[in-house]
Amino acid sequence: MSNKVKPLIAGNWKMNGLRADLRQIEALVRGLKERRSLACDVLICPPATLLAALGAACAQSVVMSGGQNCHVRQKGAHTGDISALMLADAGAKYVIVGHSERRAGHSETDGLVRAKAQSALGAGLIPIICVGETQAERLAALAVTVVEHQLDGSVPDLAPGQQIVIAYEPVWAIGSGQTPASEDILLIHSFIREWLEARFAGRGSAINILYGGSMNPANAGEILALNNVNGGLVGGASLNAKDFLAIIDAA
């Protein structure tokens, strides 16, 4: 892990979680209180329906909350959408944008992801901008090219004080139980770091680059120890407090 950056362990609950599942959050909060000092920041991105209740459950703890998506506009006639401003108003500090499930399932383009990231910044949120290649692209040795293209198109300019997070999530590793070899994660994360430093100079060295895709208690230690891996974006294993705590301990 790059020494300069405090790791962020972020849980992405996706379309999972009813009020009864806040028990897992209560267990997470209890578990974190038992740990004297934490080497990482902790974030949960629940479905929007649980943001307020999760915020209340985490009020006395270090656990932060985030959204999973936002609209490019802050308000207006957009039935069914949620704005970054609304997420911030509900207590969110971060919002995931450009997750591959949104890129694939909702035809989100790099340009749209960039606009969403800008909207998030405008609302005072930190966007977690996701990039990553498909299996076919990896097999065609296009992983770096694809990630570079997504970064070029999805990452907005930053005003002073504004912050972003990048999440490298190979599409084929998400929910599959498969992860890239450590050398492959290292290679892409180093590439992303160079890209960020070329784009943002010194500020690029301080941006968290998360790995996401089938991170679990068994593989988190090895992945999080890699240079330029500054945390994880955790799906399935974030739904269970015990597993998520084990990943936090690995950081």
Question: Is there binding between residue 46 and ligand PGA (CB under 6 A)?
Answer: no
134 token code pair: 């498909």
Cα distance between residue 137 and residue 102, in whole Å: 18
Main-chain phi, psi angles of 195, to 5 degrees: -60, -45
* Position among 234, 241, 247, 248 found at the interface with ligand PGA (CB under 6 A): 234
* Amino acid making up residue 70: C
Q: Between 72 and 96, whose beta carbon lies closer to ligand PGA?
A: 96
Main-chain phi, psi angles of 226, to 5 degrees: -70, 145
How many angstroms separate the Cα of 13 from the Cα of each of 123, 169, 196, 244? 22, 15, 27, 12
User: Given 99, 101, 133, 137, which residue is catalytic?
Assistant: 99
Residues in 128-187 at the binding interface with ligand PGA, rule: CB under 6 A: 169, 174-175
- Give the DSSP letter of residue 153: H
Active site residue 99: yes
Question: Is there binding between residue 230 and ligand PGA (CB under 6 A)?
Answer: no
Closest separation between CB of residue 160 and ligand PGA, Å?
Answer: 30
Nearest-CB residue to ligand PGA? 235
Residues in 198-217 at the binding interface with ligand PGA, rule: CB under 6 A: 212-215
Question: Is there binding between residue 12 and ligand PGA (CB under 6 A)?
Answer: yes
Q: Between 110 and 169, whose beta carbon lies closer to ligand PGA?
A: 169
Alpha-carbon dihedral of residues 98, 100, 106, 111, nearest 10 degrees?
40
The footprint of ligand PGA on this chain (CB under 6 A) covers a number of residues equal to 13
**From 64-72, 81-89, 137-145, 228-236, span contacting ligand PGA (CB under 6 A):** 228-236
CB 154, CB 131: distance < 8 Å: yes
User: Given 101, 108, 137, 169, which residue is catalytic?
Assistant: 169
Residues in 80-119 at the binding interface with ligand PGA, rule: CB under 6 A: none
Q: Could you please report the per-residue DSSP string of 135-182?
A: HHHHHTT-HHHHHHHHHHHHPPP--TT---EEEE--GGGTTTS----H
Closest separation between CB of residue 159 and ligand PGA, Å?
Answer: 27
Closest separation between CB of residue 122 and ligand PGA, Å?
Answer: 24
Q: Between 5 and 220, whose beta carbon lies closer to ligand PGA?
A: 220
CB 138, CB 176: distance < 8 Å: no
Cα distance between residue 131 and residue 103, in whole Å: 10
Beta bridge partners of 12: 45
Which residues of this protein are in contact with ligand PGA, per CB under 6 A?
A: 12, 169, 174-175, 212-215, 233-237
Active site residues: 99, 169
